[in-house]
Amino acid sequence: IAIEIEKVIDALTSQHFNRREFLGSLDRFYRAIERAAQELATFNEKQDFLNRMYENFFQGYSVKTADTHGIVYTPHEIVDFMCAAVQEILHDEWGYVLGDERVQVIDPATGTGNFLVHLLDRADDRYLDAFYRTSLFANEIMLMPYYIASLNIETIYFNRTGRYEAFEGLAFADTLDLTESRQISMFTERNTQRVMRQQRAPINIIIGNPPYNAWQTNENDNNKNRKYPVIDGRVQETYVKDSTATNKNALYDPYIKFFRWATDRLGGRDGIVCMVTNNGFVDGVAFDGMRKHLLQDFDVIYHLDLSGNARTSGERRRKEGGNVFDDTIRVGIGITVAIRSKKHHDDKKIYYHRVGNYWRAEQKRAFLAEHVELQGRHNALNTIPWTRLTPNTRHMWLVPTDGEAFNEGIAMGTMLGKQSHSKTEQTLFKNYSRGLETTRDAWLYNFSKRQLTINIQRFVTFYNNEVERWREAGKPSNLDDFVNNDDKKIKWSSSLKGHLMRLKNIQFNDLKIRSSLYRPYVKVSSYFDSALVHRSGQFPYIFPNPESEQENRVICVSAVGGNKSFHCLMVNVIPDLHLTGDSQCFPFYTYDEDGGNRRENITDWAL
């Protein structure tokens, strides 16, 4: 690949300018980098420097790429802790040493190769050559980190042996793509051979930092995560199928797909999956099915919760402390070590530890470093004061201390209760809904009814013009690239694009201007239209018209495992999704869409 790129560069520079002169303006940057690198004393310092350069390059050069592929370098304290944990488990569970021919490792999203570098640094001298040549594998989908990873891995091997040898375990490939039996079209024969050798390997150690980015926050960015039919199907038939949540979008986050892929990649073999990821799956409502399957697929699970969730607020946010990635990402972080070992099949265990409240990022990294060095290199896990968790029947891991009483209580509402109308499921309410999810708050909410009217009229005019423009262009298949993504003119969502593809025009109707509670005690005007609201939930049946606001009442509670501490409010107007933090709303009455046929929403179980 590099050879072909060089040919292109040579062709361009030879025709139009002198290559040395063209690149001369960058010399001062190169010299600054070289000077900084020369002052670094240790290998870890050099790794950190290189990773920072790589991360900053992508954050500045290609923000969309950095977002989609989760380009945030992994601090060496995290890498070292995870490698030490793998080394410890290999020794304790099976009596293996790192480098043993029975240990076959893959990093499926290797980035700059740090995990393999640290594993090589820890490998037993007796097995180093064989480990390097036959037992280490990694994939990387982006060219720049692919080159850096190759250099990193080959350098650590050179430093340990005094001789250079190309690393043949690294493939230029999308790991999730390989489950689809497809590869990047520019693959060379040599790279294809590497992929085939990797696929034949009896992998039993999977380690790394996969990307995590559940969905783009703005459809106008046109920066969606890729779809992988095979692995998406596996997520669908396991984690999604067994989830009781209403909204299951979070289960298609790339890191969830990597958990599914890693479990399947082990096959029936004993082994270890060790990944640093978003920690939302530990207590998120949508992840109950995933937690169920993790405990079916593995025998011992450790989760070290490093907290740091910046999408929280108030005291909860302060307790989360700094993000261990130096606040370059906003989600909470955790290290999961999942072990499949036959000797534990009859006694499955989950161990959990959360770092201290209010800790800064550097305190969290120091904690990891301390537990790597404490009592030697084989005790990263053994020195942590784990709490053994006992999941309840609803697959909650972090069960309240009065767990038995919690289990015996009647649920406020469940998906099954909605379907059976309380005939087979004990619930307090027959129906419930998430708050209003517009995905275009700036357009559909306003303190001024007049300004809201102006905004909506401008929005629908532009949208209808886009519908006509798409029809006249012959309905091109790549709608994302076709539509105008100017945020000042329109705010797209997947549902609105669906309306466009059906050639559905939207007409402004001032009767659809309603009152809403946007945040606690913040009442605004809203435009309640099924085409413009991304997800209106059950509110066409809860507040179908202004008259229903005079008699109906809705209890809005913050979601269990959500980003805000538990609280609730009672409202008599349409609540926003984030009124109480991913609000779940339980109405006293429901109606038909025309406002008639009022029905009590309380079940016989509640009465």
Q: Which residue has the tokens 């169920």?
A: 292
Q: Please enumerate in sequence order all residues whose Cβ is within 8 A of that of 264, keeping only pairs 6 or more positions apart, or say none.
A: 179, 234
Going along 186-307, which residue ranges are E strands? 205-208, 271-278, 300-307
Query: Of 557 and 566, which is predicted with more confidence?
Result: 557
**Taking CA 491 as the corner, what is the angle to CA 485 and CA 496, rounded to the nearest 5 degrees?**
100
C-beta of residue 328 within 8 angstroms of C-beta of residue 213: no
Cα 534 from chain centre: 21
pLDDT above 60 for 147: yes
Average pLDDT, the chain: 86
Nearest to 332 by CA among 343, 342, 321: 321
So what's the pLDDT on residue 560? 66
Instruction: Check residue 108 and give its pLDDT.
Output: 96
The set of residues, in sequence order, having a beta carbon less than 8 Å from that of 100 and lying 6+ positions away, is 90, 124, 127
What is each CA distance from 3 to 6, 10, 23, 173, 445, in whole angstroms?
5, 11, 19, 18, 55
Instruction: Give the whole-angstrom CA distance, residue 381 versus residue 81.
Output: 9
pLDDT at 38: 72
Distance in angstroms (rounded) separating the CA atoms of residues 589 and 542: 7
pLDDT of residue 257: 95
- Phi-psi map region of 186: left, alpha, beta (phi>0 left; psi -120 to 50 alpha): alpha
Residue 218, H or E segment: none
Provide, rounded to the nearest whole percent, the portion of the chain with pLDDT above 90: 60
Query: How many C-beta neighbours within 10 Å does residue 427 have?
Result: 23
DSSP letter for each residue of 531-580: TTSSB-TTHHHHSSSGGGGGT--EEEEPPTT-SS---EEEESSEEBTTSS
Does residue 504 contact residue 531 with C-beta atoms inside 8 Å?
Answer: yes
Quick one: pLDDT band at residue 416, thresholds 50, 70, 90? confident
- In the predicted structure, residue 604 carries a pLDDT above the cut 70: yes
- 59 vs 154, residue with greater confidence: 154
**For 354-393, how does the pLDDT look when each residue is reduced to its tens digit (9 = 90+)?**
999 999 999 999 999 998 875 455 567 888 999 999 998 8
- Mutual orientation of helices 143-161 and 43-61 as an angle, nearest 10°? 170
Question: Band of the pLDDT at 241, cuts 50, 70, 90?
Answer: very high
Of 96, 199, 217, 116, nearest to 157 by C-alpha is 116
Q: Tens digit of pLDDT for each residue in 278-291?
A: 999 999 889 999 99
For residues 483-495, average pLDDT: 93
Q: Which amino acid is it at 409?
A: G
Distance between CA 439 and CA 374 in Å, rounded? 48
Q: What is the pLDDT of residues 419-448, one digit of tens each?
A: 765 466 788 999 999 999 999 999 999 999
Say whether pLDDT at 136 is over 90.
yes
Task: Specify the pLDDT at position 219.
Answer: 62
Contact residues for 275 (Cβ-Cβ < 8 A; gap 6+): 206, 207, 208, 209, 210, 255, 258, 259, 262, 335, 336
pLDDT at 69: 47
CA 457 to chain centre: 36
Token output for 348 = 């499955």
- For residue 525, give the 3-state DSSP assignment: strand
DSSP-derived secondary structure for 340-395? E-GGGTTS-EEEEEEPPTT--HHHHHHHHHHHHHTTSTT-TTTTS--EEE---TT-
- pLDDT score of 122: 92
CA gyration radius, the chain: 27
Contact yes or no for 299/340 (Cβ under 8 A): yes
- Both tokens of 285, joined, read 């409502």
Strand ranges, E, within 196-299: 205-208, 271-278
pLDDT of residue 70: 47
Work out the number of other CB atoms within 10 angstroms of the CB of residue 357.
Answer: 12
Q: What DSSP designation does 427 have?
A: B
Indicate the DSSP class of residue 20.
H
Q: Which residues have CB under 8 Å from 482's CB, separation 6+?
A: 470, 473, 476
Identify the band that residue 484 occupies on the pLDDT scale cut at 50, 70 and 90: very high
